[in-house]
Amino acid sequence: MKFWVIVGVVAIGVVALFLAAQRGFSYLDDEQVKVLALADDTATAVTASWTPTDLQPFAWTDYFAKPDQEGFDAWDSYRLLGQRTGLKACKLLGLNVTNGLGNARAECAASFEKGDAEILITVSNHTGDWRVTGFKVQL
């Protein structure tokens, strides 16, 4: 009798652990979808005109308060790439979520009149909403 009680308790524990793990993976999948959607929308909007204000609707509020004018001087060089001719779906490079808050990085391959570039987008969730906290172009 004692043996069956122990087996029953262990079985319930295993099932509970399995359900908790499944729920955790489902949550991370949902967060990954949100991050990639934000990265795709950001890359699409910003590379169309290379204007820093196009990034503003997607960015963390303090992102524009943080850098001075020098931080946006790189945008002049981005415009030298010319018009965008192609943009692939972004790929997730990393996702870290702890206690509902997280950071992630995505890479979007883009083609322009004068060459190809990788758009690197960093996003953070510090307030319950994923927002862009970093934007770089890698030639």
Pick the CATH number of 35-138 from 2.70.170.10, 3.10.450.590, 3.40.50.720, 3.40.50.1110: 3.10.450.590
Looking up tokens 């030639």 gives: 139
Digit-coded pLDDT (tens) for 5-64: 575 555 465 444 544 444 544 788 999 999 999 999 999 999 998 888 888 899 988 776
According to DSSP, the β-strands at 91-98 and 131-138 are: unpaired
Q: Comparing C-alpha atoms, which of 110, 126, 106 is closest to residue 118? A: 110
Domain ranges of the chain: 35-138
pTM over 0.85: no
- Return d(Cα 99, Cα 96) in angstroms, integer: 10
Contact in structure between 39 and 108 (CB atoms under 8 Å): yes
